[in-house]
Amino acid sequence: MANAETLTLADISKLVGGEVSGDVGKIVSGAAPFESAGPDDITFAGQAKFISRLEASSAGAVLVPTGVSCEGKNLVRVKNPRIAFIDVLLLFHPPSRLPKGIHPSAVIGNGFACGKEIAVGACAVVGRHVTVGDRVQIHPNAVIGDYVEVGDDVIIYPNVTILERCKIGNRVIIHAGAVIGSDGYGFESDGERYHKIPQVGIVQIDDDVEIGANNTIDRAAFEKTWIRSGVKTDNLVHIAHNVVVGENTAILGQVGISGSTTIGRNVVFAGQAGIGGHIAIGDRAIISARAGISQSVPDGAVLSGFPGIPHRLWLRVQRAVSKLPELFKQVGRLEKRMERIDPGGGPPDGLPDSTKDEG
């Protein structure tokens, strides 16, 4: 295969398992969005609105779904153009890596055990009896506490803190500023002051998890806070002590999840959702942006608003809210008509006397 600076469509087709329609020897030197791709770029068209515009595209080649044709265009037909484009994009823009080895300014504790091809950046601090696997990258200023275990192919970005005894699986990415294993919020009041409850558990992060920048994931009071395989979190997410997050769940920015909540598989939390403690969120549930959830949620539910209600009902409520001023005026007009019909009778039981508010 050609190098990543120039690829032929034959190279790309082999990489993504696709079928070329057009010039298999066409050389592309970059990957770009559909709107801006030029004659030397490859792009993708996975949706009908882009497929309908293939003839007008200036791209040198386009990844398209199986069965799509366009006379005179260089196409690579694949099952999922968006996923295939990710593979191509990584060829042209491979992720940077730290230089292999341990920087002279890094501080390494006693009993450190590591696999092959590791990289530890400047001013990183690794505690006692830490174990890391193969090809691990620990970026500058990261802090790894005592007895932490880290798997293979893990990337720990600058200023990440992983505190004592926590466990990190394989192919995990932890972005800058995240704190793994801070104390959970555990206090007991005697009526005068709060007494701190020791947080003696750990955080366990399983394989293929990506943790966003400035996340805080608290250690358990006992046992473990558990982030299971395939979970992806956005920036500024807080996960409290003893939470269990199920496989392949997506947690968007500024979500807060309270302690001892159990989350199923393939759940989606949109931005700024707040989740109460000691509840269960079912598999494949979707929690909309800024929703507040205080009760357990069944499998497949889609909830919005505060308190969280079914999304379709929430949409109806929002439409009704916009009509409240006019409804209020209508009630006032009805009250005046009733007063003329039955002077001194007042509104029916349960209705406000809105005419007084109208002056």
Q: What are the tokens at 75? A: 């196409």
253-262 contact pairs (CB < 8 A, 24+): 253/212, 259/184, 259/185, 259/218
Phi-psi region of 327 (alpha: psi -120 to 50; beta: other; left: phi over 0): alpha
- Report how far residue 44's alpha carbon sits from residue 200's, in angstroms, rounded to the nearest whole number: 50
- Report how far residue 202's alpha carbon sits from residue 220's, in angstroms, rounded to the nearest whole number: 6
- Report how far residue 135's alpha carbon sits from residue 120's, in angstroms, rounded to the nearest whole number: 10
User: Which of 281, 289, 293, 216 is closest to 252 using CA atoms?
Assistant: 289
Say what the alpha-carbon torsion angle 211, 217, 220, 226 is, to the nearest 10 degrees: -20
- Match 């006032």 to its residue by tokens: 332
Identified catalytic residue from 139, 241, 278, 311? 241
241 noted as active-site residue = yes
Is 204 within 8 Å of 186 (Cβ atoms)?
no
Q: What are the tokens at 192? A: 């005068």
- Report how far residue 200's alpha carbon sits from residue 161's, in angstroms, rounded to the nearest whole number: 17
Is 70 within 8 Å of 53 (Cβ atoms)?
no
Is 27 within 8 Å of 7 (Cβ atoms)?
yes
Could you list the active site residues?
241
